[in-house]
Structure 1
């Protein structure tokens, strides 16, 4: 590596020290009249003016520092652009705490990231960048309170899943108008795929179609980002939206990535678009995705491009806010092991990542742990080093609350196929014959016994219905009447026998890494660590509930709480399951478990299905887009989930964009969720 390249890499995350004078570090040649930058007319060479088309941003607030970001457009792609950063304690920039010269380099897509140190804790600052005669928009940011400082309250939002090509971004505009200390972004800041089936249809007209400069075609006609140029294009495009710019300019953002910043449902440097896709590492693609994230996120992390590994960046990190909260942000993609049931073993993502037989997963997980000498390494989501770091952060936290920025849900989401089908058929019988309605619970139990027996003896899908006949005999329906009038009707409702099992709905979440989840919960219990609350995204739905020490125990005990927000702009969790039961004959008979039609309108039954088999789910809305706002005090955590209005005729709804809210509370000292 030559000296010039080393200096460019080394200087990308620059550091400035705030002062009390009129100029900061390195400001010998600051622009004239720094308080009033010249109008953006033209550069001195007569070419088009520089521009700040992606706005400004700040992130990772510490008591004495903040990271400030921008990107300079209008350069020639070869030469560095001199940029001046100005920071002030007042919006008019009358006195500058920082007035320092930086360089926007083509090696880093002309992005600038500068860490300002020497700031006062719990203080609001204003910042802007100047390139040539052009000033950027003004950003506002705020440092964190010093550790141990008594705080009456902390208020912040957490968001996730903002697909450019699905639904709308009015929620960002609504968030930018609120009074928050900071925003947590839990990943899926971009979506690496364009033109996918799930991205076609309803999207706001102001978001034009994306076209990757390189990209790789998938079998379904979609294209996915492959090069660093592709990922940079996506970040530039997403940041071109004024609403996302306004959110970044208003609040410091603490961000982590999930999967789509690289590849859907990825693990380490492996993609899983097809059953055998992850047999080949995609190291160059992973490194390009990581570099683009590093360039465009105002995060206090470093990257080593001289390191050929795909793990040349570490983004897990922690923050402290007075005596009130510790925030631990984890990376749940770069270190995770392959899914316990590989895609090639299952034949597709069904059976590997989605709708996974619980017993099969448990058996294979135990086998892998045993082969590794009882180590969690081959079944870990965090990886050994990060898991140890997480434990130490939780153990050492001296704050009332321990918040966990956690990408994928910790809450068990399971389905007992036998019980679910029995309940579905019993409900249909009761609905068709009012005289049978009082017998619905008994019919459900009888049908479950009959279905299990039929599966065991091979007579399914034509059970003998001995238990059901006995129940119906009490209602005056004898065997002959049952055979003539009801048997065929019931048989027609029965799904594929494969559904008659116990399933985990999503093994890409913590359900697929159950042994490590149990280990983390056991650590919290053994150490007596209370008031742990996970802030989660990824699944495009709203969930809230306690995380149990062992979901398979006879009496699971709550250890912590998980709060899951819906995607800000994504297809809902419900929509994916609706698509499956509508298109896959193997699951079509189970449609009533996902939705029914009443008077021409769709009724979501998926919420009640999930709650029936997962009693720890205290709040469920599987068909939502939105965001969450948390108000934290020493005695209570209050979380309000905002459910957004739908897109109308290609336009985002006028403010307020919120259609409804759902609020839950967690009292200090308890691992319980109360729905308000």
Structure 2
């Protein structure tokens, strides 16, 4: 079942669309929780989208999260879910309370948007449904707009195929001293190509094959969010989340389906599939009402500022992009189409919004939450350029516009954080790669996967070729893990945190390498 905004208006459970989608209840009517179904809060709790006066809270009622119909074992009836926010973990000083209505229409998920909190401080929160109380989560508001902010720490992660490994990296991430986590996409995978988890139970039949409808996508989110390490990371910090391709379909591009030749490439079925994928994403992430999908459309580009220190701009490189150039995204040579001025990875409206924001923000660091590699990535050390067209290499005009604007408008210190590649990279970004002497205008840190690709290795033949072919690439590694960032007004420090294996649990974490960017000096160097 995919729910449109028009359909939501017809449900009328409490007389409020906001209540119906689990934002906040505005009616005195209460809907009792079911009894004796199992653990209602089996998927944990989360928070996200922090502002100076509030955050979004999230949970989903799912006593049987892998029930084949995708409804999590919940009955038809709506349920009132209460929440409270406190300054202390014992909830002795509660500062905000409220209720949201969990309905079947959105998988019994709730997304209350809490306001009225103090800026730049930690809070604790929990939910109650009937007599059952959720685990406690911890969250943090952003500093006041423009306020002096001396330091910030965050981590970014991506690409967490459940079938290809254990979420050990999240055990370590949840123990870090962070203010925020940024997830850059591929939170789920629409299909399981390889089950590499040693000792794992057989894949339930309802999770075999490929997700193409709402039940299928819900089950893949439930499978991921049932994992204790991921629950711990969500409960420890607020998150900013976007998507890449596998939340829907491998290598999809705007109105164009991804790889494969199945029936869901037909336009009406593809739009229905997209709507289902977007709804499932909203149901399972701490997102605001502004991100509630409208059928096959979801507003994902948005900004969040942290005092005078950093502004996070989350972009969407999937929904508005032109079709892939010269094939299906695999590396190609002599692809003239990638230079076409009409080709876009952002869409005109989002591109203008991004460029204007880079110019107007007073923050010291501009952090661009990006899905696919922005730096030119030549896979051939010889004279030919061998480039993949699923990344920004396939959309040269947009890349030149964004990086040119950053240079022309002196948009602070631009640092791009990227997922997708299942590898750790550091690369300087040039204004125009067709001009060898083009200046460096920004830095890109590409983070590896949480699990995708299995155990990985410190380096590979492909990595050696990339380093040899790309002088602006300063580091390569293909182990699993996440990136940890600490920034102040003078320095950005990026630590690559890696685990030696993921196909079995219990791996330790180490900092493999650290790179820094200095205020006012584009480009990175190893610390």
Q: Do both share a fold (TM > 0.5)?
A: yes
Aligned 8 A contact 2:355 2:405 in 1:
yes
User: 1:278 and 1:4 mapped to 2: Cα distance?
Assistant: 29
Structure 1 residues 298 and 620: CA distance shift in structure 2, 3 A? same
Structure 1 residues 388 and 244: CA distance shift in structure 2, 3 A? same
Aligned 8 A contact 2:168 2:506 in 1:
yes
Structure 1 residues 415 and 54: CA distance shift in structure 2, 3 A? closer
Q: Does 2:485 align with 1:630?
A: yes
Aligned 8 A contact 2:413 2:442 in 1:
yes
Q: Does 2:522 align with 1:639?
A: no
The gaps in structure 2 that reach 5 residues or longer are: 1-5, 64-72
Provide the residue aligned with 1:608 in structure 2: 464
Residues 32-71 of structure 1 aligned to structure 2 (within 5 Å) = 47-49=36-38, 51-71=40-60
Structure 1 residues 280 and 557: CA distance shift in structure 2, 3 A? farther
User: 1:276 and 1:521 mapped to 2: Cα distance?
Assistant: 38
Q: CA RMSD in A?
A: 2.6
Give the secondary structure class of the aligned counterpart of 1:502: coil
Pairing partner for 2:331 from 352, 355, 358: 355
User: 2:21 and 2:272 mapped to 1: Cα distance?
Assistant: 22
Q: Does 2:61 align with 1:72?
A: yes
User: 2:496 and 2:526 mapped to 1: Cα distance?
Assistant: 11
Structure 1 residues 316 and 12: CA distance shift in structure 2, 3 A? farther
User: 2:101 and 2:292 mapped to 1: Cα distance?
Assistant: 19
Per mean C-alpha deviation after superposition, the further-off stretch among 100-109 and 130-139 is 100-109
Provide the residue aligned with 1:122 in structure 2: 120
Per mean C-alpha deviation after superposition, the further-off stretch among 270-279 and 237-246 is 270-279
Aligned-residue offset at 1:300: 2.1
Provide the residue aligned with 2:185 in structure 1: 187
Structure 1 residues 417 and 631: CA distance shift in structure 2, 3 A? closer
Provide the residue aligned with 1:390 in structure 2: 354
User: 1:548 and 1:574 mapped to 2: Cα distance?
Assistant: 29
Structure 1 residues 211 and 556: CA distance shift in structure 2, 3 A? farther
Provide the residue aligned with 1:11 in structure 2: 19
User: 1:103 and 1:29 mapped to 2: Cα distance?
Assistant: 10
Pairing partner for 2:476 from 615, 620, 624: 620
Aligned-residue offset at 1:268: 1.5
Residues 246-265 of structure 1 aligned to structure 2 (within 5 Å) = 246-265=232-251
Aligned-residue offset at 1:98: 2.4
Aligned-residue offset at 1:54: 0.3
Aligned 8 A contact 1:67 1:116 in 2:
yes
Q: Does 2:386 align with 1:503?
A: yes
Aligned 8 A contact 2:455 2:501 in 1:
no
Q: Does 2:526 align with 1:675?
A: yes
Give the secondary structure class of the aligned counterpart of 2:437: coil
Residues 329-408 of structure 1 aligned to structure 2 (within 5 Å) = 329-341=314-326, 343=327, 349=328, 353-357=329-333, 359=334, 361=335, 363-366=336-339, 368-369=340-341, 376=342, 379-408=343-372
Structure 1 residues 81 and 15: CA distance shift in structure 2, 3 A? closer
Give the secondary structure class of the aligned counterpart of 1:618: strand
Per mean C-alpha deviation after superposition, the further-off stretch among 52-61 and 509-518 is 509-518
Aligned-residue offset at 1:276: 9.4
Provide the residue aligned with 2:274 in structure 1: 286
Structure 1 residues 553 and 46: CA distance shift in structure 2, 3 A? closer
Residues 561-580 of structure 1 aligned to structure 2 (within 5 Å) = 561-571=443-453
Deviations 1:11-30 (A, max 9, x none): 245556xxxxxxxx979899
User: 1:615 and 1:46 mapped to 2: Cα distance?
Assistant: 62
Give the secondary structure class of the aligned counterpart of 1:238: helix
Residues 163-202 of structure 1 aligned to structure 2 (within 5 Å) = 163-194=161-192, 196=193, 199-200=194-195, 202=196
User: 2:37 and 2:245 mapped to 1: Cα distance?
Assistant: 38
User: 1:518 and 1:234 mapped to 2: Cα distance?
Assistant: 37
Provide the residue aligned with 2:199 in structure 1: 205
If the length of structure 2 is used for normalisation, what is the TM-score? 0.90
If the length of structure 1 is used for normalisation, what is the TM-score? 0.71
Equivalent pairs, count = 508
Aligned 8 A contact 1:644 1:660 in 2:
no
Provide the residue aligned with 2:66 in structure 1: none
Aligned 8 A contact 2:165 2:454 in 1:
no
Deviations 1:172-198 (A, max 9, x none): 01111111001000011001112x2xx
Structure 1 residues 127 and 304: CA distance shift in structure 2, 3 A? closer
Q: Does 2:150 align with 1:295?
A: no
